[in-house]
Amino acid sequence: MDQLIDDFSTRLARRILLERESRGWSLADLADRSGVSKATISKIERAEVSPTAVILVKLASAFDLTLA
């Protein structure tokens, strides 16, 4: 079960990083657009922490994406 969670966290982290970089945004840009701190985004992108549902919604909204 832990491996499944780790795989999901890694895939989610990679996707957030790719979405940010594909737009040419810095961490500060995404932080400003989402209301999530740069430190938190950085930790999420490195798969050091798992984002809460609230943070995921904020990040998805900043990217103009749905959570689905």
Within 13 A of 1's CA, how many CA atoms are on the CB side?
Answer: 0
pLDDT of amino acid 67:
84
Amino acid 18: pLDDT: 97
Residue ranges per structural domain of the chain: 2-62
**Residue 34: pLDDT over 80:** yes
DSSP-assigned letters across all residues of 21-62 = HHTT--HHHHHHHHS--HHHHHHHHTTSSPPPHHHHHHHHHH
For the domain spanning 2-62, the CATH number is 1.10.260.40
Report the predicted TM-score, pTM, of the whole model to 2 decimal places.
Answer: 0.88
Q: What is the per-residue pLDDT for 35?
A: 98
